[in-house]
Amino acid sequence: MEKGNNELATFAGGCFWCMVKPFDEQPGIVSVVSGYTGGTTENPTYEQVCSETTGHYEAVQITYNPEIFPYEKLLELYWQQIDPTDPGGQFYDRGQSYQTAIFYHNEEQRQLAEESKRTLAESGVFTKPIATQILPAKTFYPAETYHQDYYKKNPGHYNAYHRGSGRSAFIKNHWGEKK
């Protein structure tokens, strides 16, 4: 799990393209990799995951320095990127591979994730129940190269997708302009 003082965090939040940028721009974040986790097929392809037959989620795996950007801050930022009340996917993207989940790498992460979920549920920000699952981390498979850093490689398409999917408006409505 650890690389020096760095640790791993893994989050599924719908389309992984939209989950990279918010974390990538933070201090203490070493890398954000788009990929697949939670399923049964080894080394799945994007097409296989989209077929909904592998059990994988689109996810991001974040290598971070917890002394600079603690796990609690990662969780806070994660909740502000998703609709945690939607059990059927995220925004335009539907199906199991687009559902939300926090994949914990150790008991401390599990406890912190459960606590943050409870705090969010009690906050009154959402009227529906929080549907995001908290699951043990499984093997993470990096996605194909063209999916990595998509927001940097294809900013026009990324921005259009982020707006067109409904994610931008949802985030602005629930969390304000800067998130």
pTM over 0.75: yes
The least confident of 42-56, 74-88, 145-159, 163-177 is 163-177
Tell me whether residue 94 is exposed, middle or buried, using C-beta atoms within 10 angstroms of its C-beta: 0 to 12, 13 to 18, 19 or more: middle
Q: What is the CATH number of the domain that holds 34?
A: 3.30.1060.10
Do the domain assignments include residue 91? yes
pLDDT tens string 57-102: 999 999 999 999 999 999 999 999 999 999 999 999 999 999 999 9
Do the domain assignments include residue 159? yes
Give counts: helices (H), strands (E), the chain: 7, 8
Identify the active-site residue in 9, 15, 82, 102: 15
State yes or no: is 15 an active-site residue. Answer: yes
What's the number of domains the chain is made of? Answer: 1
